[in-house]
Chains A and B, each alone.
Chain A
């Protein structure tokens, strides 16, 4: 089970990797939308964990790109500033779940498991 985490903040990437790997998931990290798009060509993941607010291209752009490429891998959107509009927009674009930062390891794992099970 491979999960691609996209965030411009190193500490978030590191935290996710630490929690998810401890539970046996395979984690790929990308610190920008561009990096993420390059990464999926080499190694297509089975789950995306995408931050909304990033410099240059944001998370919404990335989701749009993925959907355009016909990628229907489930997506979890996370943000430190969770407004109703952001959540709704993300869901509209095809995100499976929304995860508000900051989150505890338990919250992260629960969300990931829910999405996988639903699939």
Chain B
């Protein structure tokens, strides 16, 4: 099964299909993943810079709001006059418009004059530091930016805010609250505008300050997201998120946790802290957060004192991109599998096309080996090679049929000769001794003069009959003779000339013409001259006997390179007569010992079988064609190369 053509074909197709599919899957998937990742990282970086813009715009916004207030008609006079109700009204309205969480006015000594919220007139002695106002008092110029505010400051500014700003940060990898981890204070974007004696110059009289607390804020992160990812807002799930971090704690985000709340209060990992907060670099990474894998970009936030106090971050859900990758991989897999299915089908049908005729050929071969040459091999295939195989097989079977018939008859002939030869040798030898006695005494009697003519004539019959017996026995011995050939190079045309001379007179007397068509460039043949001559003579005498007066005998010598020999070059001598011919049934018997068509007493019937044996020993063969009333034609084929068959002896002593 494993070695069948069908399996091999299907297996090969499958291998190719999986190889191509697998390689494209691997390379395609890998390349795609890298591209997607790069794309996602770039997008995250772009988004991060956009978010930073939004962040800065918000700072500017606070700054503008405060500036407008200080420049407002009557603000400075109200401040100089210490008209607190008017000042409070002004900053309350400003806070309302600009969405400030806190705002207030500080005198040049650092004492808060008034502020928004419930503690609007609570004076303080400067024990609780107001870092942004202090910055302006010190530097005599406006300030805006990120600032870290203490819990105490915020509680005084607006006790309502204190809930919002407190966190018990959770480290994702070690989710436990410790006192050390407890975050003190909060991060805000704030601005402070100096109030001078004259419009923009003169002595510094006080400072207007205000800001937005970032802890738990939504405005900046949401607008950052909206401004950057406007086109993606529709797809709620794949929306990127913006996050503001105070130190390492997420204080404002639109990332939603499993409870549907904003996922604030967690810390980022140590390496992010090291890279961004400590070294101040932008940083991009894929990492796992909450329930999903994100591609996140971070950049540091620096406060007005130039100190890195927090981070701004954008996170994009990786599944947005890996979904594309998954789809492509799935497509590749499906294509590969379909290719495999097609490969299996193709392999199956191709194998069928190839193996079906081959299977039939195999069956036919079995049949032939069992002796049935009539087996059907089916219709000739359209495949060129298979068709050639089928035709060759047919030809082979035909050739085998012909050769088997020929060799069967030849084997039969040889066996007949061998057994008759052995018998003849034994009989002849035994008969010859008593025959010596008969011949001796008959002739001794005939020598006597005291016998009557009657007795003499009777004795003559005995002598003649005995002589016939002698000839028959001699023929038998010739037939079974195990003489070695005495081969020598011979000019076959000359041998034919010599042989024809022996019967020329007889033919002339009978009125039969003899014609010899010689081929001149005959090669020398190595053969036993006397034996081959006796073969030729025998056939010629038979021809002469069969031919009536005015008939003709035609003898030809031809060079026959391969026609009759088993792929062996040779020569062929044909002896054709216009005699009486032979019936077809005789043709298979004429080479049998003692077969004769002549009248009893005229021939011993050993001639042709002896000829057959001699030619056989020379490695040649004798064929005959005959038609009744038209004549017979004998062909003697002899190989050109010396190929004397030493093993063709039929008997031994």
Contacts and interface: CB of A to CB of B under 8 A. Distances in A.
A101 B444 contact: no
B433 A12 contact: yes
A105 B432 CA distance: 14
Nearest to A83: B483
Interface residues of B, number: 28
Contacts of B430: 80
Contacts of B439: 15, 102-105
B355 interface: no
A18 B440 contact: yes
A14 B486 CA distance: 37
Interface in B432-449: 432-441, 443-444, 447
Given A18-B441, A19-B440, A106-B443, A85 B484 contact: yes
Contacts, number: 71
Given A9-B433, A80-B432, A81-B425, A104 B440 contact: yes
The 10 closest A-B pairs by CB, nearest first: A80-B432, A15-B440, A102-B435, A11-B437, A101-B432, A102-B436, A9-B433, A81-B429, A84-B483, A80-B429
B436 A11 contact: yes
B433 A11 contact: yes
Contacts of B473: 102
A2 interface: no
A80 B444 contact: no
A87 B57 CA distance: 140
A22 interface: yes
B479 to A, nearest CB: 13
A21 to B, nearest CB: 11
A82 B432 CA distance: 11
A102 B470 contact: yes
A82 B483 contact: no
A14 B437 CA distance: 8
Interface in A45-94: 53, 80-85
A104 B435 contact: no
B495 interface: no
B218 interface: no
Given A83-B483, A84-B484, A101 B436 contact: yes
B483 A12 contact: no
Contacts of A84: 483-484, 486
Contacts of B447: 105
A15 B441 contact: yes
B441 A80 contact: no
A82 B653 CA distance: 10
Interface string B426-470: 001111111111111101100100000000000000000010001
Q: Which of A15, A22, A102, A103 has the most CB of B within 10 A?
A: A102
Which label, helix, strand, loop or mixed, suits the secondary structure of the B interface? helix
Given A11-B436, A85-B484, A101-B433, 6 more contacts: A15-B436, A15-B440, A80-B428, A80-B432, A85-B483, A104-B440
Given A15-B441, A22-B444, A80 B425 contact: no
Interface string B484-498: 101000000000000
Contacts of A15: 436-437, 439-441
A53 B433 CA distance: 11
B117 to A, nearest CB: 150
B45 interface: no
Nearest to B473: A102
Contacts of A19: 440, 444
B429 A11 contact: no
Contact of A81 (B441, B477, B486): B477
A102 B441 CA distance: 12
B482 interface: yes
Contacts of B434: 11
Contact of B653 (A81, A101, A103, A108): A81
B443 A12 contact: no
Nearest to B653: A81
B428 A105 contact: no
A19 B442 CA distance: 11
Contact of B443 (A7, A53, A85, A104): A104
A105 B440 contact: yes
A53 B429 contact: yes
B250 interface: no
B216 interface: no
Contacts of A103: 436, 439
B6 interface: no
B450 to A, nearest CB: 15
B633 interface: no
Interface in B144-201: none
A80 B477 CA distance: 9
B644 to A, nearest CB: 15
B368 to A, nearest CB: 44
Interface string A1-43: 0000001010110111011001000000000000000000000
Contacts of A11: 433-434, 436-437
